[in-house]
Amino acid sequence: MLPEFTPITNLTIQQAQKEIATLQTDLLQYGVAYYEKDAPMVEDHIYDALYARLVALEAKFPDFITPESPTQNVGGKNVKTDLAKVQHPAPMLSLGDVFSIEELDEWDLRTSKSLGFKSEYNLELKIDGLAVALKYENGVLIQASTRGNGLIGEDVTANVKTIKSIPQTLNEPITIEVRGEIYMPKTSFATLNLQREADGLEAFANPRNAAAGSLRQLDTRITKQRELSAFIYYTAEPEKIGVTTQSSALQRFSELGLPTDKHNVVIKNMSEIKKFISEYTIKRDKLSYGIDGVVVKVNQLDMQVELGNTVKIPRWAIAYKFPPEEALTVVHDIEWTVGRTGAVTPTAVMTPVQLAGTTVKRASLHNPDYLLAKDIRIGDTVTLHKAGDIIPEIGQVILDKRPENSEIYQIPMDCPACNSKLVHLEGEVALRCINPFCSAQIKEKLTHFASRNAMNIDGMGPRVVSQLLKAEYIKDVASIYRLDIDQLLTLDKFKEKSATNLIQAIENSKRNSLERLVFGLGIRMVGSKAARLVAEQFKTLSAIAQASKDDIAKVDGIGEMIAKSIVQYFSMPESKQLIQELADQNVNQKYLSDVTVDENSFFYGKRIVLTGKLEINSRPVVTKWLENHGAKVSSSVSAKTDLLIAGIDSGSKLDKAKSLGVTVWTEQNLVEAQAKEGNDK
């Protein structure tokens, strides 16, 4: 839910600085979840509103713009994967967004004013997919890459070649790069999620994230099974196909055998744009693919060049985003579920309604404070929206429809799973069950342990965990390693092959590096990054278990609270017994570093800060290289900083480094140093 914003004109400088910093941090986190992990944390319309607020604040208070701000970057950062990196010959920009006809009118006026006359526009549907660049040489597809950070993407050539709608050979022997959108049709998405649920795997949040996850597969057979499709809509080399307008470019793409969306139309005035938007606001649910708006582009390509681009978006195009679809429904019940850490979460159960083409009857209420702030009661009529086909959320209560006998909802005092007293810990919004033997927590902990980012036991999702618990085949994570095929064959939908595959996945997980085990144990406040930092420092689980709070807190990136939580976990007799049982089952408890750090490296032991936009390599790639050579990469400049590497548009960090006398390098200096070190690590 969006917070209540103070009007920008009423903000003090200090308030504005604090809000900008908070928005930058939150939006970067949401962006990583959306672009890199394909697992959105918030609905599109919430992200869009927060982003628009940040843009407005930075326009009013430009001194607080940082190079790391999401307004200064295209798409997501480059996440570390096993896919090779590809440098784009021309940046792959994102589109600017507007959310109302009034904002669209303003964009039209600005564009007309810049050109000096009224331009015609080409209207296209905004496909809800993943941007891709295709490179053809003499008509043959030789490379496909994702947008990445706009400058450097991931090589997905092998996977793209499995997509039937993308030709591997054009109808003419042309050398050209074209760009478009890879998407998952709605029917493919529905089939995929049904299969994942049947396999006990987590369902994808929406078709866009399903398409992104499918395209980044290392196994091309999986990508092929996902039945992706594509539309091509752009080239930075129009002269190679002899076109001067966007509409004629789409026609030429079609002639070359490239897939294009046929719903584009050329118009000359705003009334036609509004008519087109109204038409597809109604038709969107009937399309075989997902759209989340309409794209308006200046049709004449020479005028596009004249208008140019900002650092992030083209000035010659804009995306009108559909408003979140809303429906009225009635709350019949509020259910409470228990997570692996004991947090108890309320969920509204409502009269089923159709939203974004699906039936919705449940919506998370997040925590007791949220529920009480909304004043949601049993019997209330509420607005429900599901922007971007992601997470259903209650907007507001329609007070005029509230029953006369309505009563304020009473927050429960006991755990719904084990009946233990719930507690409200200081500084937390969640109610929590602190009973370590709570059945609901055990189920969630086991599911977490088997999850992809933890021990990665493929095929052991929530449904399978539930069956194993019900059959009393498992009771804790150690008992997973005592399962056998005969037990699995008694479970619903398990055959010889699926049982054998799960036993093999369990066996494979024994060889994971220590950081996965530490994360999988579900220690409160210990995420995957903290688990890695601690594992790197102490090397063995025994060493972590015996370390003091002060020793753990000294690890760079680990604070007092996380250290305290780790010490508390390993001090419990149940934890000590669990660790011994895992050792007895030959589950690896050592850190398996894939890099031997050369202590003679120039970078060994140095504290280094990166700032600004890096062009030669992405920031994650540089960070990993530096860490592999013994450096400590920090996010802030201090007197302890040994070296600052400054990219383009470096800001306050560069100024601070200079004032402290910190050595400053350009990215080219780093490349030269890497060459001396040997760039093979």
* Cα gap 113→379, rounded to integer Å: 53
254 pLDDT exceeds 90? yes
pTM, two decimal places? 0.48
3-state secondary structure string, 329-382?
EEEEEEEEEECCCCEEEEEEEEEEEEECCEEEEEEECCCHHHHHHHCCCCCCEE
Task: Please count the other Cβ atoms lying within 10 Å of the Cβ belonging to residue 638.
Answer: 12
pLDDT tens-digit readout, 443-456: 989 999 999 889 98
588 pLDDT exceeds 80? yes
Q: Are strands 152-154 and 326-338 parallel, antiparallel or unpaired?
A: unpaired
* Cα gap 373→409, rounded to integer Å: 11
- Over residues 22-41, mean pLDDT: 72
Under DSSP, the state recorded for 285 is G
pLDDT tens-digit readout, 207-219: 787 888 888 777 6
- Over residues 275-296, mean pLDDT: 88
- Over residues 590-606, mean pLDDT: 76
DSSP class per residue in 21-35: HHHHHHHHHHHIIII
pLDDT given at position 452: 82
566 pLDDT exceeds 90? yes
User: Side-chain half-sphere of 578: how many Cα atoms within 13 Å?
Assistant: 21
297 is catalytic: no
Where do we find the tokens 């930058």? 24
pLDDT given at position 278: 92
* Cα gap 452→346, rounded to integer Å: 26
* Cα gap 583→510, rounded to integer Å: 10
* Cα gap 614→626, rounded to integer Å: 14
Which are the contacts of 633, defined by CB distance < 8 A and separation ≥ 6? 608, 609, 610, 623, 626, 627
Beta-bridge partners for 648:
613
* Cα gap 292→274, rounded to integer Å: 16
- Over residues 339-367, mean pLDDT: 85
Q: Over the range 419-458, which residues count as b (16 or more CB within 10 Å of their CB) and which as e?
A: eeebbeeeeeebbbbebeebebbbbbbbbbbbbeebbebb
- Over residues 183-193, mean pLDDT: 80
User: Side-chain half-sphere of 407: how many Cα atoms within 13 Å?
Assistant: 3
pLDDT given at position 37: 57
Residue 673, classified by CB atoms within 10 Å of its CB into exposed (0-12), middle (13-18) or buried (19+), is middle
Beta-bridge partners for 609:
634, 644
pLDDT given at position 78: 44
What structural domains does the chain harbor? 8-72 (1.10.287.610), 85-321 (3.30.470.30), 326-423 (2.40.50.140), 439-584 (1.10.150.20), 607-677 (3.40.50.10190)
Average pLDDT, the chain: 86
Give me the percent of the chain exceeding a pLDDT of 70: 90
Q: Which of 244-258, 445-459, 590-604 has the lowest mean pLDDT?
A: 590-604
389 pLDDT exceeds 60? no
- Over residues 228-253, mean pLDDT: 95
Higher pLDDT, 402 or 61: 402
User: Side-chain half-sphere of 283: how many Cα atoms within 13 Å?
Assistant: 12
Strand, helix or coil at 573?
Answer: helix
pLDDT tens-digit readout, 274-285: 999 999 988 887
pLDDT given at position 521: 93
Backbone angles phi, psi at 77, to 5 degrees: -75, 170
- Over residues 187-197, mean pLDDT: 69
- Over residues 296-324, mean pLDDT: 90
What residue type is 227 in one-letter code? E
| Residue 124 tokens, joined | 């296209």
pLDDT given at position 679: 47
* Cα gap 325→1, rounded to integer Å: 15
* Cα gap 548→558, rounded to integer Å: 13
pLDDT band at 3 (very low <50, low <70, confident <90, very high): low
Higher pLDDT, 392 or 408: 408
pLDDT band at 199 (very low <50, low <70, confident <90, very high): very low
Catalytic residue among 18, 80, 113, 126: 126
Task: Please count the other Cβ atoms lying within 10 Å of the Cβ belonging to residue 410.
Answer: 6
